[in-house]
Every structure is written in C-alpha cells, then in structure tokens.
Structure 1
Amino acid sequence: MKVVMTAVAALAVVAATAGAAAGGEDRGELRRGLDGVVAAGAVGALVEVRDERGVWRVTSGVAELGKARPVPAEGRFRAGSITKTFVATVVLQLAAEGRLRLDDPVEAWLPGAVPDGDSITLRHLLNHTSGLYDVVRTLPMPPSQEFFANRWRTWTASELVARAVAHPPTSERPGTTFGYSNTGYALLGQVVEKATGRPYGVEIERRLLRPLRLHGTSLPGTSPHIPGPHPHGYVPRDTEGNLVDYTRMNPSVFGAGGELISTAADLNRFFEALLGGRLLPAHLLDQMRTPGVEGRRYGLGLAWWDTTCGLRVYGNDGDALAYQSWSFMTPGRQVTLALTPNFSADLDDTVEAFLDDAFCG
C-alpha cells in the first residue's frame, strides 16, 4: 500500500480537568500544530500538555493506516531512548545507596566485557563519553531483508555489546568526546543486574513504575505485544514509500537502551517526580543535569534544550523504529508527544517547532 495519508483524519481532544476545559480556546494553536506535524510526515500523533490550567490530551491522524479509527488519546507506544532516563535513574539510586560508584570502571563490574574497561567508567556510559561504538550502527535497518529476518529474534546484551566492540572506539580517550552510544546502556543494564541480583527491568518496575503508579508503562523483554490501546507503527517496506505494519516485534534489540513501552501521562508523571527531586538526592540530580562534555546538552541519561522564549526544558526523546517520542518539562509545564512516522520526510524541524510552541504559547 502506497504511503498516502487517507482523507479521513481524526482529531480528539480530551480536557482532563475543568480548568483545562475553560482554556480550550487557548489550545487552538496546539491542535493546529499537531495536525501540522501529522501532515508533515506521520500516520498519527498524540500529545499531553500539563500546566497550571490542567491537562490537555490531543490526537491527530489515524491509529492504523486504511482505517478511520483515531489515535487513542491515552494510547501506549514504544518510548525508545526515553528508557535511558529510567535506567540512569536506577543507576543513580544505586549510587546513592552506596551499592556502586559512578566512577567505578566497567571492568570492575563486567570483567572483559569491553576493551580498555579499566578506563571507561559508569559515568562515561551514562553520559555517552565512553567512546564505545554504537551498536545500532552495526544493525541492519529497513527496508533490508536482513532487518525483517531479525523481527522475532531474541538478542542478549552480551551479543549487542560484542557487535559494537568489534569496531574501534570513536574517541581516543574516554570522557573527552560525546558520542551517542546505545552500547553503554546495554552495559548499564548488566551492571544493574550485577549490583542488585535482579534484571534491570525488575529494578525499574520496583523502584519507579510501582511507586509512581505508572500503570501504562512496562518493559516487555522479548514480548512482541504492546498491551492496551495503542496506535500501529510502521517501517518502510521498500524504497518506493510503501509501509509495513511493525507494531509487533521482538524488542530485545532495544534492551536497556530503548525497550520501554509507556503513555504520555506516565512519562509526564515520571519526569515530574524525577525533576521535582522525589527520586534522587539533590546532588545526584544536579549531576544528571551536568553535561558530560562542555557545550553538549546531555548529562547522565537526561537531555535538555532552550526554547525561543528563553525556557530551558529537561527530558529525553526516543526513536523505536516505528514510534518516535519526546517528553520534556520546565517548571509549570510538561509536554509529551508521540507519533508514528510515515517516513515521507524528516520531522525533526517540524517537531522542534511544535514543542517550542507548546512550551511558549
């Protein structure tokens, strides 16, 4: 089926509180902006905005190609690299408990796992200054047949790390250069298990999901399903612009770097708790917001950027092939956006403009 947005598009707006309902006219730009994101290159999208007036949930586009069903406003999606913030929070909690140190070398926890493991610290893994080659760059991508052949394959963290370290490092010395690397988070997931005796997914559930009541969030492991209401996600089937439904797949390839499934409401709740100081001691939260390399906007599993109206917003974004998401906040306002791309265009600039308007409008 050729990638063409159907003439039927659905827009749903949920005013979650009376205050939000009263401010409905003020949200017209938000609705139009999300429609613009979808028109620029998405099958469907959803957003939740929280501020002093209440909670607004808006959707645009469709949940499934060829059907008129709207995107569920409280739908679940693969959150990609937003997983890293959850993993980093657990690692920092373990540091606060004295069960590990951020400046511990990888070699102390995972002997022989990576070359030069005595020089690479857990901090370097967290802030992407380890110099380890990014395993994602070793994996086949759509529309290659090898990519589709791996759809149901179960990957282990050790397999993914081995693929990465078969390539030379991307910097001469750890801690000096920023180089985004999912490999580091595959290792951090293993470190969490070594430190606690439990898989990182279990630790995230017991430390974060259950206490914060994030009932729409899960770490699926090898399960291909997205539980509950959700939009369908797609990837290119060929070079002609055709798509194939890729909602169901084995997410072990993402691992600790990106397997999380969540909702906009849950992500807003998580970042409010994290940045509000409820999950970490102040000195560790400060380190989380400190760039690993001068001039970069990434700390220990946390990213940030500055809006055109002078606000600095903190959070993270994620790309899980068929799903893309962004979750950021500043005091007084939170915005979480998720979409299912149709790969007809690069959406980065469109999304950045939408988020900027959502914070500054």
Structure 2
Amino acid sequence: MARVEILVQQGADVIVDDTTQTRYQLASVSKQFTAAAVLLLVADGKLARDDRLGRWFGDSPPEWQNITLHHLLTHTAGLGHWEDYPMIDLAQRMEPGELLTTFHRVPLMFPPGTGWSYSSPGYVLLAHVVERAADTPYRVFLADRIFDRLGLTSTFAGSPGARPNLAVGHDAEERPVPAWELDVVGMGAGDVWSTAKDVLTWLDALESGRLLSEPHRTLMLTERARTGKGPDTSGYGYGVFVGELDGRRWWHHSGHNAGFKAYVGNIPERGRRIVVLSNTEATNAGTMEPLLA
C-alpha cells in the first residue's frame, strides 16, 4: 500500500504524528549517514578531509588526482549525477571494481573545487572509502558506529533481506516498482532504510553533538560550499543543505529513489524538526517547508 508518513516536532511537543513502524528507503537523506561516517573516521585519525582519492583508489584518471574527500562531501568534485551515467542500471548489482571503472569513463564536469554539482556517485565513492579505511563492510560500520550507538533499532543500510515492516515502492500511479540495488551501486548515496521516529532521533543526535563532537558536528551542519540555490538554501555542508528560513538557520535534505521519496528538515533555533517518508512517487515530499516555518 502506498503511504506518506509525516512527523513534526517542536521541542518535546509533537505537532503532527502520522507514523507507523514501517521502514522506508531514505534515498538521498542517506547521505547524512555517509558524511557522519567519514567524519567519525576523521575523528579517529583514519581519514582526513583533504585526503586525495588516490590514497584509496590508486588507479584513477589524471583529472581525478586532485579530488579530495572534502570535494566529494560538498559535491564540488566535478562528478555528475546518475543521469550522467546512463550505462548504469540502478536496479542491477555491479561489482565494485566495475562500478569504479564506469565512473572513470565519464569526464568531470569541471576541475575539482571550481564548481558545484549534486552527485550521488560522489557519495558512493565516499562509502567505499569508509569501507577501506575502517576495514569493515560499510553497512556494518553504520550499524556499529551509528545505528546501535544512537538506539536506531529500526534502521539499517543495504538490501533488506527478510527484515519485517518494509514499505514497497510505488510509482506516481501507485503501481509497485522494482527497488534500486543498494549494496554496491546505491551504497552511501541512498541505501538507508528507517522509520520516521528513528529519523527524528537521528536529527536530534546530529544537532546536539551526541554523535559527532566538535569541530566535526559544526563542519557537517554549516556551509562548506556555495550551491547557487536559493533563496532559502545558500550552501551545502556535509550531507545537508544549509541556509536560512524566515531569518533562522536551518539544514535539510530531500531524497528520491525508485518508488520512494523522503524529506527531513531542522530549524535549531525553534526546535522544529520534520520528517516525511513516502513509498509513492506521487508525493511531493520536498515542499514541506511551511511545516517548519
């Protein structure tokens, strides 16, 4: 069944709660977890934001040599988005080496650090860096260092297997659609499943510093690159869009996988947070700002 779940909270007061225990694909909201994973490893001393990709992927095209983790985190590496890689079927698994080679075949849109262009492939690369730096599968790293630590008991990454309470994605006419592959192709870019209440806990953990200590929390949640989007969004942090809404600082992100849409937002000054999860593409989940205002 196609459904939209909305959770809005201000401080400890619930404003809207239309939620169940159903787990939805978070789509690109998953990038927040990827960014946090990278920053946890930076805090551990296993990664640095100015690490070049060559440290982790030695066999790369010459034009990739100056790409850093910071560039990938901020969408300033020059990599394209999925439509720029038509040879990749997002519903079909590829071996990691084949996927990386496919990324190499598409020229950069601009030299690293000289522009801004949203790129899910950049976050796939970050997830593979996390795997290599931590020497553990990416989904296991997220479970051990983030989900379990924060008590996100209904949250996981990757293919769901036989887990219960899973939403089935639907198109705009509410017909079931095949899911995207999330263990390799979508890893780090759109691979997390969760419930609205778990996502609210996640938003609060990020803002409060419960997961990331300073300066890493501030690095993630404040502008690291200008996006040219506006008027309410001026920049991108690490895994979040940032800007001002009605004169107040806010951070937010939307997501769209086949059959799923998601949206999260937070205005810290007001203590107002919103989570929208949907398993139908008929939902316009990215226009929920009035609930935050």
Aligned to 1:337: 276
C-alpha deviation, 1:298, in angstroms: 1.1
CA distance in structure 2 between the aligned counterparts of 1:231 and 1:53, rounded to whole angstroms: 28
Report whether the alignment pairs 1:212 with 2:150. Answer: yes
Secondary structure of 1:233's counterpart equals: coil
Shift in alpha-carbon separation, 1:318–1:111, aligned structure 2, 3 A? same
The one-letter code of the counterpart of 2:9 is: R
Shift in alpha-carbon separation, 1:230–1:80, aligned structure 2, 3 A? same
Task: List runs of 5+ in structure 1 lacking aligned partners.
Answer: 1-9, 11-42, 60-71, 142-146, 237-241
C-alpha deviation, 1:80, in angstroms: 0.7
Report whether the alignment pairs 1:318 with 2:277. Answer: no
Alignment counterpart, residue 264 of structure 1, candidates 193, 196, 201: 196
Shift in alpha-carbon separation, 1:117–1:243, aligned structure 2, 3 A? same
Larger radius of gyration: 1
C-alpha deviation, 1:117, in angstroms: 3.2
Task: List runs of 5+ in structure 2 lacking aligned partners.
Answer: 229-233
What does residue range 65-144 of structure 1 map to in structure 2 within 5 Å? 73-139=20-86
Aligned to 1:164: 103
CA distance in structure 2 between the aligned counterparts of 1:130 and 1:245, rounded to whole angstroms: 35
Aligned to 1:229: 165
Aligned to 2:206: 274
C-alpha deviation, 1:104, in angstroms: 0.9
Shift in alpha-carbon separation, 1:356–1:207, aligned structure 2, 3 A? same
Residues 253 and 264, structure 2, Cα contact 8 Å, conserved in 1: yes
Shift in alpha-carbon separation, 1:228–1:194, aligned structure 2, 3 A? same
TM-score, with structure 1 as normaliser: 0.71
CA distance in structure 2 between the aligned counterparts of 1:319 and 1:50, rounded to whole angstroms: 23
CA distance in structure 1 between the aligned counterparts of 2:215 and 2:272, rounded to whole angstroms: 24
Greater share of helix residues, 1 or 2?
1
TM-score, with structure 2 as normaliser: 0.86
Shift in alpha-carbon separation, 1:337–1:89, aligned structure 2, 3 A? same
Q: Which has the higher contact order (CA 8 A, sep 6+)?
A: 2
Residues 179 and 259, structure 2, Cα contact 8 Å, conserved in 1: no
Deviation string 1:55-78 (CA, Å, 9 cap, x unpaired) is 35544xxxxxxxxxxxx5332100
The one-letter code of the counterpart of 1:154 is: R
Residues 74 and 239, structure 2, Cα contact 8 Å, conserved in 1: yes
CA distance in structure 2 between the aligned counterparts of 1:251 and 1:194, rounded to whole angstroms: 18
Alignment counterpart, residue 188 of structure 1, candidates 108, 126, 130: 126
Aligned to 2:94: 155
CA distance in structure 2 between the aligned counterparts of 1:135 and 1:264, rounded to whole angstroms: 26
The one-letter code of the counterpart of 1:176 is: T
C-alpha deviation, 1:133, in angstroms: 2.6
Aligned to 1:239: none
C-alpha deviation, 1:176, in angstroms: 1.4
RMSD (CA atoms): 2.6
